[in-house]
Structure 1
């Protein structure tokens, strides 16, 4: 009997998996996963994401009766070897949209066609495939709001997920492959254990998290999502990135269980993810190249000391430092805080947005090439539909507005928890007696500010004016 390869990629789930559903209806399947660092180049999976991937593959393997076959190397070569050694009639997969994957997958399709093997690809990751929504002149949208409105009017922002396969026949054939530990996805340091302790991973955990959000988080989403100490965010982004949950499943449940002003705001966040993939598809240079070419002449600084302080959460500005420490400790950062730390890096420190892209890529569990690139360019002002460069977040005011009680800051910077709230956002102005009572010695157990906000804002505006 011939086998059908089901190639899992960023769709590590059984439900609402179009490729798996179609393959299972055709016959006996051979489920495989390939860690392809050969084609990924500099965008091979980052350290934090590797941790998530290990545990997600573990859960998927359980769902597949422990019959997931794991490989590493150039995916085209791996599949070619499987075709040589086994009777394979077809290969099924769900599409990915990163430029390197598109190029690789096209080469694999051409190889399969030459060999007379069926190739079937499906949309298992997006509500809107990038070529499905264009302007009247067939150009692509470069501003989010018109894109969102068109997507809404055309009915894209709904979901109709499919069930698990009715019958799943998984091959018992002996296949030479690797075990999960051979991929060496887990770092040897204890850092990975700390990061993963904050999460439950896998398809079942993802659906439970969605249910929890619908019951507890979305009802005050419009306002609450901006406050990092409130539970009004979904925490679904890592599950979405690895495909433990599909966007169709999310919007289907949202539409069926929520009917209030918060629905649109959450749909906009889901659609921003779609827009990021849309931009990456139509502008493949997005991860590296400024969309607005004038930023090629921006006078960025190259200050490794400032960059290191930002990465470690030692800038002297508590809301920034809390965000960067949350990232390091949990592999995640609240979205409002992502904007604050991003603005601080590119506008107060005048460091290239690429440094932020690279640090987030390595430290975020939900590191996603499309979202990471589009969002950093948005913050930097260099992308499509970008926040104007002169919109510079004042981290002191942002902290006062969105963490007024200091609950978020105290959680990640406990050495400040004895400081009166009136000085929390401007510690350098606190009297020495107050600092002593709080056990704080600036420059020793908490840093002095590494820059002056007012002065750095003026310098940023001068830099921007130089390229206008």
Structure 2
């Protein structure tokens, strides 16, 4: 009688090395079927069929399968609703369990619970493991057992628990011979209803020199960054490996990774933040909605060059420098006095490294409505930000070629007026709460 198989479900962990869930699957079974699902419920919500993220995933899977195919292995790539596909898999294969890595987004938790209930009813085990963070769920809590909502004490606890000399790694790459042999396969973008975007996947490379100098260079959009955010988002790099490198080379870099985990645990413990302000009273602010001004912000035609450069970089590449993200978010929520949810949704549509927890956390930080957010009276002056971080207009001229000419637009709102209007609107909204 043939041994039962174990299914490993790839999600936000698209790598073969140091993959916790994959390691546990390979450790527990001699016959592991690796599966990836293009979730039609997610894909159907993406109106733009030239989506860089979908292209990224397709290319990543192709890269993984090219490696596996040398030994007759392959990731089984499926397209459909996960619950329906697991029902079908339970009929096709005699399997004892499904293993994956944890996801902390509300919709993913709901999906996993539904699948777990179905599998359990069939006598099939469902297990998930911590992989995309160092500390998860209830591993870092206050002394009274409640979650932290302020970054600094959270980060102190995180660093106290973090033992850089004894980081556990999961050498999944050493046991790939336990994957079952399957016919090589790949789903093309066309087969799942999408188109090529021009994005070219590159295997992640951690540049130690960039990390070493991170504290000095991170705020300047003309200087190269580690470019690891997209790889962290899709798990093409191990967060354990990246934190080990960062922790040894630069504490500022490591603390950026802690911010990422801070926002993840906020989303896990306070799922309401997906649609509501973390600080409820901020939902009483009277926002302004002006479709014409919103379009100018989206297209990078505000008359504030650092804002315009950032928005054009985002539209063209799917990326925006972190400092510029803050300036663009502040401009929408303070200068144009528009609801942070509008900006968050636009970034969610455009960012290649889009991550719900970080996007939501950073937009609420900029609007003042989030946990440990910037105070509402902090209004970035885009002109001063440009003087500090792009004094020679290198970044601006790259993305706004008409800057300095008669073709460049006048500011759509005056800074002093916008600042006063924002302060008054925030004060009134918070007083009325």
Taking structure 1 as the reference length, the TM-score comes to 0.85
Q: For the residues of structure 2 that align with 1:45 and 1:15, how far apart are their CA atoms?
A: 32
Q: Secondary structure at the match of 2:35?
A: strand
Q: Secondary structure at the match of 1:138?
A: coil
Tell me, yes or no, if structure 1 residue 447 matches structure 2 residue 409: yes
1:30 matched to which residue of 2? 33
Q: For the residues of structure 2 that align with 1:415 and 1:101, how far apart are their CA atoms?
A: 44
CA drift at 1:174? 6.5
Q: For the residues of structure 2 that align with 1:283 and 1:37, how far apart are their CA atoms?
A: 27
1:165 matched to which residue of 2? 173
Tell me, yes or no, if structure 1 residue 321 matches structure 2 residue 308: yes
2:84 matched to which residue of 1? 77
Q: For the residues of structure 2 that align with 1:14 and 1:255, how far apart are their CA atoms?
A: 23
CA drift at 1:39? 6.8
Tell me, yes or no, if structure 1 residue 219 matches structure 2 residue 219: no
Q: 1:360 to 1:126 in 2, by over 3 A?
A: same
Of 126, 137, 145, the residue aligned with 1:138 is 145
Q: Is the 8 A contact 2:189 2:195 kept in 1?
A: no
Q: Is the 8 A contact 1:320 1:337 kept in 2?
A: yes
Segments ≥4 residues shifted beyond 4 Å: 39-46
Q: Is the 8 A contact 1:310 1:324 kept in 2?
A: yes
1:293 matched to which residue of 2? 280
Matches within 5 A, 1:380-391: 380-391=367-378
1:7 matched to which residue of 2? 9
Q: 1:463 to 1:183 in 2, by over 3 A?
A: farther
CA drift at 1:30? 1.2
Deviation by residue 1:260-319 (Cα, 9 ceiling, x = unmatched): xxx221111000100111000001121211111111111101101111001101101110
Q: For the residues of structure 1 that align with 2:44 and 2:147, how far apart are their CA atoms?
A: 27
Tell me, yes or no, if structure 1 residue 458 matches structure 2 residue 429: no
Q: 1:321 to 1:164 in 2, by over 3 A?
A: same
Aligned-residue Cα RMSD (Å) equals: 2.2
Q: For the residues of structure 1 that align with 2:214 and 2:180, how far apart are their CA atoms?
A: 45
Q: Is the 8 A contact 1:37 1:44 kept in 2?
A: no
Tell me, yes or no, if structure 1 residue 52 matches structure 2 residue 56: yes
Tell me, yes or no, if structure 1 residue 63 matches structure 2 residue 67: yes
2:260 matched to which residue of 1? 273
Q: For the residues of structure 1 that align with 2:99 and 2:418, how far apart are their CA atoms?
A: 53
Q: 1:42 to 1:279 in 2, by over 3 A?
A: farther
Unpaired segments of 5 or more residues in structure 1?
A: 420-439
Q: Is the 8 A contact 1:160 1:249 kept in 2?
A: no
CA drift at 1:145? 0.5
Tell me, yes or no, if structure 1 residue 303 matches structure 2 residue 280: no
Question: How many equivalent residue pairs?
Answer: 421
Taking structure 2 as the reference length, the TM-score comes to 0.92
Q: Is the 8 A contact 1:6 1:30 kept in 2?
A: yes
Q: Is the 8 A contact 1:54 1:185 kept in 2?
A: no
Q: Is the 8 A contact 2:337 2:422 kept in 1?
A: yes
Q: Is the 8 A contact 1:331 1:365 kept in 2?
A: yes
Q: 1:229 to 1:380 in 2, by over 3 A?
A: same
CA drift at 1:40? 8.3
1:431 matched to which residue of 2? none
Deviation by residue 1:21-58 (Cα, 9 ceiling, x = unmatched): 12123111111111224278868999332222222222
Of 227, 232, 235, the residue aligned with 1:235 is 227
Q: Is the 8 A contact 1:11 1:17 kept in 2?
A: yes
Q: Is the 8 A contact 2:20 2:172 kept in 1?
A: no
Q: For the residues of structure 1 that align with 2:12 and 2:333, how far apart are their CA atoms?
A: 31
Q: Is the 8 A contact 2:277 2:370 kept in 1?
A: yes
Tell me, yes or no, if structure 1 residue 250 matches structure 2 residue 242: yes
CA drift at 1:11? 0.3
Q: 1:40 to 1:32 in 2, by over 3 A?
A: same
Q: Secondary structure at the match of 1:70?
A: strand
Q: For the residues of structure 2 that align with 1:64 and 1:404, how far apart are their CA atoms?
A: 48
Q: 1:156 to 1:283 in 2, by over 3 A?
A: farther
Q: Is the 8 A contact 2:38 2:78 kept in 1?
A: yes
Q: For the residues of structure 2 that align with 1:7 and 1:44, how far apart are their CA atoms?
A: 26
Q: 1:99 to 1:456 in 2, by over 3 A?
A: same
Of 327, 338, 360, the residue aligned with 1:351 is 338
Q: Secondary structure at the match of 1:253?
A: helix
